[in-house]
Each structure stands twice: as C-alpha cells, then as structure tokens.
C-alpha cells in the first residue's frame, strides 16, 4: 500500500488547483493546468520529459472534481506509468473526463452554485438593507466555498490513494443522493423566489404584478425554446413597457 | 478616475469567473453591491445584484461551453447605473437603469465571444509552457504562466472598459427622470425574468410538489412581509 500524500503536498496541490483553468484551451482543455499543479514535484523528478507530457495531455473535468484526477495522476506518474505505459495513461486520462466532468457539473454548476446564490438573492429581496447585504454576501461565499475546499483536499488524497481506480470513488451513495436532495432544496428556493418576487412586484399595484408575469412568461418561453437571453430580455422589456404605455 | 477602478473590478470579476480560483466573489450579489458601496450607491448595487444574480443563474461555465460573461456584464451595468443615479432619496432614473441592464446583457454576450478568443489564443500559448517545463526552465515556466494570467486579466479589463465607454456615451444624454412611471416597471419585469431562469433550473417534474408548496408559502409570506 502506498504511503499517503503528505499534508504539505496535499495542501500545495489543492492550492495550485485554484489556477487549473488559466491555460484552458480547445486542444488540451485543462491539461497544462495539471502540469502547473504538479510542477513543483515534477521539476525535481528524473526523466522529466515523458512525465511533463503525461501531466500536460488532454484532460477536462469539473475544477473541484479535478482534485481526484490530479491526485491519481500524481500517483500514476510516481509509479512510473508515464514512462512504461504512456499510451494506456493517455486513454485512462480520456476515460476520466466524462465521469469527473458530469458529476461535478451536475452537482456543483447545476445545483450548488445557483441554489446558494439564488437563496442569497431571495434574502436580499426581502431586506435590501446594507447590513443584510454584508452578512448575506459573506455567508453565500463561505457556504459555497467551505464544502468545496474540503472536497478539493479530500479529492487530492483520495485520488492519490486510489490511483488508476480513482473513478470507483464516484460509486459512493453520496454522489447520487446529493443531487436529489439539493435539487429539492432548489425547487423550494425557486418556489419561494417566485412567490416572494411576485409579491414584491405587486407592491407596485396590479401593474407590477402584470409586468412580473410578462417578464416571467416571455423568459420562460424563450428558455424552453433555447432562445438566448440576449433576445429574450429586450423583447420582455418591450412587452412590459408596452403594457405600461397602454395603461397610461 | 472611477471608470478605471470599475475596469479593474471588472478584471477581477472576469478572472474569478473561470480562470482563477472561482471562489465566486464574481457573483452579482457580491460584486455589484460592492461596487455600489465603493461608488456611494449601495442601494443601486443591491438592486442590480439581485436582478443579474437571478438572470444568470442558468449560465454555467462548464467545460468548453460558450457562456455569457454575465458577471462582468452585471458589473458594467451597475457602474453605469450608479453613474446615472442622482443623490440618494430622489426618484431613481429607471430609463437609464433599463438601458444599463440592456448594455449589461449585451456585454455578457460580447464577453462570451472574447472568452472563446482567449481560449483559442491559449491553444498556441499553452505548448510553450509545456516546452519550458520539459526543458526544466522554472523561471520561463513561471513567467509564461504569469503571462497567461495576464492575458485573462487584460481580456477582463478590456471588456469592462469597452462596456463602460460605450455605455457612458449611450447614457450621456438620457434624461434620468423621463417617464419614471413607465420605466419603473423594469424592476418587476426583471424579477419575473430572473425567477423564470431559476424555475427552469430547479422545477423539474420530480420536484414539482416541492416547488408548488414553496410557491404557496412564498406568496403567503410575501403578502404578510412585504
């Protein structure tokens, strides 16, 4: 059994992963970002060239789930796979992209981020006071980042421990349960948001409610049809202003 | 001078959106009120923060996807709105706010194209970083990497500055108080548009009962509290 990654090295990899997407490009995607994360260790290692090539090759994952990939990649390069099994290492990296991308996107981009910040917007909508903003903004940023910082740290260690079989960690029931429960929380937040913002609009009498409904309806229709907000927003604005002018 | 600082703030927002850290200080409910506070109109910042936070809830910087740079657009719109807003206590200039929101949306989509350009530029740039690593040249590696951060920073700076410049010209002759009774409707309209984005993200078939229960609670609570 391999010796676990030292705390110092785990922290360094976690920290350097924050710059994973600086070199994001359409050829190798985040590839060179992994090279950057592993560079302090790679530059001291022997047979550097094949290891650098192995680290910088094509790989794309969600930035948080990338911690699993970087830990596993470090382990495989350390085991000499970059020199002895270069082709297999390349196809293994390809095989990581789908699962690590989909799980991270579905959980973090699709649910976690919009949920936290929509709730923040909802609370601000209710109060709109400067003091509330300071508290809401701080809580949102901390609530969003705290579990992700932990996940990054855990991912690096777990990836290093599992090496080539890193994807087996995604079989943990938590990865299927979290989207389900957070999705429900999102549905609750969406319901509260519609109800409260409709009432906030209605503070401006019937016309406010009508304009809310126009904005909601037209945007909803545009989103269902795949029409970008670039067109949907001006059209909704035009319709709402027309409603106001008719009233005048 | 304030537009230079706004452009620097836009640069920070652009960096945090994708390239650096992604700790979400770029989110509209954080960045817009922060700018409003710096510029002396926190209330306008909060208003725009809520509007754009909801509007861009569905915009995901996932993988190679092209996505609107809504956070930069939101900051540009806020900076323009704060510039157009008179002293606190007066009627808000809703016509100028409407135009600022439109400019913010356009800048967001222009930002999507700019990000594609930056990623294309990186196709040629990234192999130079790899070559420096293969050669074991740590100084060159670090300089090239810092240069890549600089490219993103310049892109953010340029996008924000261009948005502010065009926006300032367009809003220069707008009478802030024109027909406030008509343009005031932009607030509920944008709330409705944002709510639609959030609903489309979360209200899936299997979660509808949770959504409807919360909707009833929201209407009731809003009726009592607001």
The beta-carbon neighbor of A35 closest among B130, B199, B202 is B130
Based on the structure, what is the number of domains in chain B? Answer: 1
Q: How far is B53 from chain A (nearest CA, A)?
A: 7
Per-residue pLDDT for A222 more than 80? yes
Compare all CA atoms of chain B with the CA of A130 and give the residue at the minimum distance: B42
Would you call A59 helix, strand, or coil by DSSP?
Answer: strand
Give B163 to chain A, closest Cα distance, Å.
15
Distances (CA, A) of B60 to A171, A180, B63, B67: 25, 19, 9, 7
What pLDDT is attached to residue B90?
67
SS3 B22: coil
Which one is predicted more confidently, B221 or A215? A215
pLDDT at A1 over 60: no
Q: Which of B18, B20, B29 sits opposite A140 (nearest CB)?
A: B29
Whether chain B has a CB inside 8 Å of the CB on A179: the answer is no
Do you know the residue count of chain B?
226
Please, where are the H alpha helices in chain A? 7-16, 31-42, 48-56, 66-78, 81-84, 86-104, 113-127, 130-162, 174-202, 205-225, 229-247
For residue A208, the chain B residues in CB contact (below 8 A) are: 185, 187-188
What is residue A9's predicted lDDT score, i.e. its pLDDT?
Answer: 93
| Of residues A22, A184, A195, nearest to B221 (C-beta) | A195
Q: What number is the average pLDDT over the span A161-174?
A: 92
Assess A139–B contact: CB distance below 8 Å, yes or no: no
Distance from CA of B1 to the nearest CA of A (A): 25
Spell out the residues 6+ positions from residue A205 whose beta carbon is closer than 8 angstroms to its own: none
Q: Which of B78-92, B127-141, B176-190 has the highest mean pLDDT?
A: B127-141
Give per-residue pLDDT as tens, B179-199.
666 777 888 899 999 999 999
Q: Which residue of B has its CA nearest to A50?
A: B134
pLDDT at position B154 over 70: yes
pLDDT digits (tens, 9 = 90+) for A85-143: 999 999 999 999 999 999 999 999 999 999 999 999 999 988 878 889 999 999 999 99
Distance CA A66, CA A86 (A): 20
| B90 vs A121, higher pLDDT | A121
Which residues of B are less than 8 Å from A24 in CB distance? 18-19, 119, 122
The nearest CA of chain A is from the CA of B3 a distance in Å of 23
Please, which pLDDT band fits residue A247 given cuts at 50, 70 and 90?
Answer: low
Residues of A in contact with B43 (CB under 8 A): 128, 130
Q: How far is A12 from chain B (nearest CA, A)?
A: 14
Q: What is the mean pLDDT of chain A?
A: 91
Q: Is the pLDDT of residue B87 over 80?
A: no
Measured between beta carbons, which residues in chain B are less than 8 angstroms from residue A53? 130, 134
Q: What integer pLDDT is reported at residue B138 of this predicted model?
A: 94
Phi/psi region, residue B105 (left: phi>0; alpha: psi -120 to 50; beta: rest), is: alpha
Chain B residue whose CA is closest to A40: B138
ipTM of the shown complex:
0.92
Instruction: Sort out which chain A residues have CB atoms less than 8 A from B134's CB and list them.
Output: 48-49, 52-53
Of A194, A208, A229, the CB nearest to B199: A194
A137 near B CB under 8 A: yes
- Return the pLDDT at A204: 57
Q: Residue B24 sits in which domain range?
A: 2-225
Q: Which of B109, B122, B214 is the closest to A191 by Cβ?
A: B214
A126 touches chain B (CB under 8 A): yes
Report pLDDT for A29. 93
Q: Is B174 exposed, middle or buried (0-12, 13-18, 19+ CB in 10 A)?
A: middle
Say if the Cβ atoms of A244 and B197 lie within 8 Å: no
- % chain A with pLDDT above 90: 72
Average pLDDT (B119-129) is: 96
Nearest to A72 by CA among A171, A155, A175: A155
Q: How far apart, in Å, are the Cα atoms of A207 and each of A171, A215, A242?
A: 52, 12, 12
Q: B71: pLDDT confidence band, cut at 50, 70 and 90?
A: very high
Res B53: pLDDT: 96
B81 Cα to chain A: minimum distance (Å): 17
């Amino acid at each position: 059994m391999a010796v676990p990654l030292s705390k110092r090295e785990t922290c360094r990899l976690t920290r350097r992963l924050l710059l994973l997407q600086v070199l994001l490009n359409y050829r190798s995607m985040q590839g060179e970002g992994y090279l950057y994360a592993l560079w302090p260790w790679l530059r001291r290692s022997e047979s550097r060239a094949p290891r650098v090539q192995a680290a910088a090759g094509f790989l794309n994952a969600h930035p948080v789930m990338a911690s699993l990939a970087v830990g596993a990649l470090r382990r495989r390069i350390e085991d000499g796979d970059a020199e002895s099994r270069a082709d297999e290492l390349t196809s293994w990296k390809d095989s990581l992209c789908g699962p690590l991308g989909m799980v991270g996107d579905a959980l973090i981009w699709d649910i976690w981020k919009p949920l936290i910040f929509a709730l923040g917007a909802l609370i601000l909508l209710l109060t709109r006071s400067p003091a509330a903003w300071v508290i809401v903004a701080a809580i949102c940023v901390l609530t969003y980042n705290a579990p992700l910082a932990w996940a990054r740290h855990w991912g690096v260690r777990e990836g290093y421990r599992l090496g080539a079989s890193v994807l087996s960690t995604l079989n943990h029931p938590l990865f299927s349960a979290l989207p389900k429960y957070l999705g429900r929380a999102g549905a609750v937040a969406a319901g509260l948001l519609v109800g409260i913002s409709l009432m906030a609009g209605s503070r401006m009498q019937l016309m406010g409610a009508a304009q809310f409904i126009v904005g909601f309806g037209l945007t909803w229709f545009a989103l269902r049809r795949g029409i970008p907000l670039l067109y949907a927003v001006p059209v909704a604005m035009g319709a709402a202003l027309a409603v106001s002018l008719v009233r005048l | 001078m304030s537009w230079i600082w706004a452009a620097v703030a836009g640069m920070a927002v652009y960096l945090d959106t994708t390239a650096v850290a992604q700790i979400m200080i770029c989110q509209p409910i954080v960045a817009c009120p922060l700018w409003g506070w710096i510029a002396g109109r926190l209330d306008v910042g909060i208003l725009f923060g809520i509007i754009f936070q909801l509007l861009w809830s569905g915009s995901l910087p996932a993988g190679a996807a092209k996505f609107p740079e809504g956070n930069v657009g939101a900051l540009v719109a806020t900076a323009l709105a704060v510039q157009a807003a008179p002293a606190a206590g007066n009627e808000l200039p809703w016509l100028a706010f409407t135009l600022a929101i439109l400019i913010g949306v356009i800048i967001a989509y222009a930002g999507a194209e700019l990000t594609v350009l930056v990623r294309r530029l990186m196709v040629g740039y990234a192999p130079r970083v790899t070559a420096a690593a293969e050669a074991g040249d740590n100084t060159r590696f670090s300089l090239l990497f810092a240069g890549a951060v600089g490219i993103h920073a310049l892109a953010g700076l340029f996008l924000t500055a261009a948005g502010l410049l065009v926006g300032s010209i367009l809003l220069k002759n707008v009478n802030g108080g024109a027909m406030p009774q008509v343009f005031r409707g932009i607030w509920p309209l944008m709330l409705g548009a944002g709510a639609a984005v959030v609903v489309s993200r979360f209200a899936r078939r299997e979660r509808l009962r949770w959504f409807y229960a919360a909707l009833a609670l929201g209407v009731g609570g809003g009726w009592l509290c607001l």
